Amino acid sequence: MIYSNLISKKRDGLNLKRVDIELFFNGYLIGKVTDAQMSAMLMAIYFNGMGEEEIFSLVEVMLKSGKTLDFSDSKGFVADKHSTGGIGDKVSLILAPIIAGLGLKVPMIAGRGLGFTGGTIDKLECIPGFNTNPHIDNFIKWVSINGYAVMSQSKEICPADRKIYDLRSKTGTVASIPLICGSIMSKKIAEGISGLVLDIKVGNGTFMKSKDMAIELGSWMSRIGEAFNIKTDIIYSNMNQPLGNYAGLSCEVFEAIECLKGKGPNDLMEVTFELGSQLLIQSGVTKTFSKAIELQKSMIDSGKALRIFENSVETQGGRLNEFLGQSLPKYESYVYPKNSGFIQKMDTESIGWHLVDMGCVLQNRGQKLDKTAGIEFLKKTGDRVHQDQPVFRVFCSNENKINKVSKTLNKTLTIDEIAVREKQTII
């Protein structure tokens, strides 16, 4: 097999056959296809897209490259959620224990940071001892014990996607609908779930910049879910500003804990409850959104969701008391606006790249994440700001990085004298 011929075929806009996709992607998994050749194929797919047969074949190749989980003996409805990525999105940390408390089983295979967006696994690994790489049998036990568990994509589950995931970030091919579909849906199908809700982010702080692009992605996700007998619901949410009050690593775990104590910001809780409601209706726990939201709030008000979170962390080896008492970042700085007025827009992607600069997303294999790094958003879209009052609090443990970020972060805000309304969180 001459792999370059398949690259040329895709480069020229032709569709690949199922056997072609199997040969090329499995060839990469076993080392016959090089990083350079896969990079070229990813770029060809990025520019030319894929047809239905190609996308379905890609999902199946990634799925069959490893093992799948089996929850056929589970008494509870097995389901999960997934977000296409954004700044400050820590919904998984909040939603999973809430839904688990209401009787669902949530086996969550989560990812690391990709491009300018943070990853659930990177955040959870801020908790000392937290094991994100268990044996599959242990993972299934954890789900049974606590109702949910979170693990990183392992060598056993969708290894083809695991190997490609890092390459997509390095080659600028993250925002490709076929590649996003292949990556997300293969992992979700491998979880052995019956239900799925997808939070597709729309706006300048995510990979789907326009609503049309997001709807196209959502349509593909639904078709794939249906093809693999998974109930799939889609919501579209606003990522033209960060979600919640914090973005970073440890600070997002702290904020998630505050949400489970009933102290969460409105936008973050609105997305959480919307996704949870979809899953509760899918599972038959309730038939109405109003009742679904009421049930979720009761999990928080009673303290049950927080207890489940704490138990789950302990089960996975995490030392939450040590995390809560760990040292604060060495440096912090306040960022002030260039002028007074109202925040018209936030360049959320640029905020994400500032977080990358502080060490919140890996850019190369030898790099270490700065778990203390993050940004607190003191003001957001629609808020009135004054030149002598800070709009951001920036913190990390590298003085040079915090000085660099503090000088340019205020450029992410567009400020004018005219007041604007904050756009809806759920589109």
Among residues 196, 178, 182, the alpha carbon closest in space to that of 78 is found at: 196
The answer to whether the CB of 83 falls within 8 A of the CB of 206 is no
For the question of residue 82 being annotated catalytic, the response is yes
Catalytic residue among 20, 80, 122, 161: 161
Q: End-to-end CA distance of the chain, in Å?
A: 47
Encoded tokens for 3: 């792999």
Catalytic residue among 123, 168, 379, 401: 168
For the question of residue 187 being annotated catalytic, the response is yes
For the question of residue 17 being annotated catalytic, the response is no
* Virtual torsion, Cα 105, 109, 113, 115, nearest 10 deg: -110
For the question of residue 83 being annotated catalytic, the response is no
Among residues 379, 378, 382, 377, the alpha carbon closest in space to that of 423 is found at: 382
The answer to whether the CB of 191 falls within 8 A of the CB of 148 is no
On the CB side of 29, CA atoms within 13 Å amount to: 20
Among residues 239, 245, 243, 241, the alpha carbon closest in space to that of 382 is found at: 241
Catalytic residue among 82, 112, 231, 354: 82
Its sign, for the CA torsion 343, 348, 349, 353, is positive
What distance lies between CA 338 and its chain's CA centroid?
32
Distance, CA of 355 to CA of 375 (rounded, Å):
8
> Which amino acid is present at 331?
Y
Helices 289-301 and 91-101 pack at an angle, to 10 degrees, of 100
For the question of residue 368 being annotated catalytic, the response is no
Encoded tokens for 385: 């700001």
Catalytic residue among 81, 112, 123, 187: 187
Catalytic residue among 65, 92, 176, 183: 183
Q: Supply the residues annotated as catalytic.
A: 82, 161, 168, 183, 187
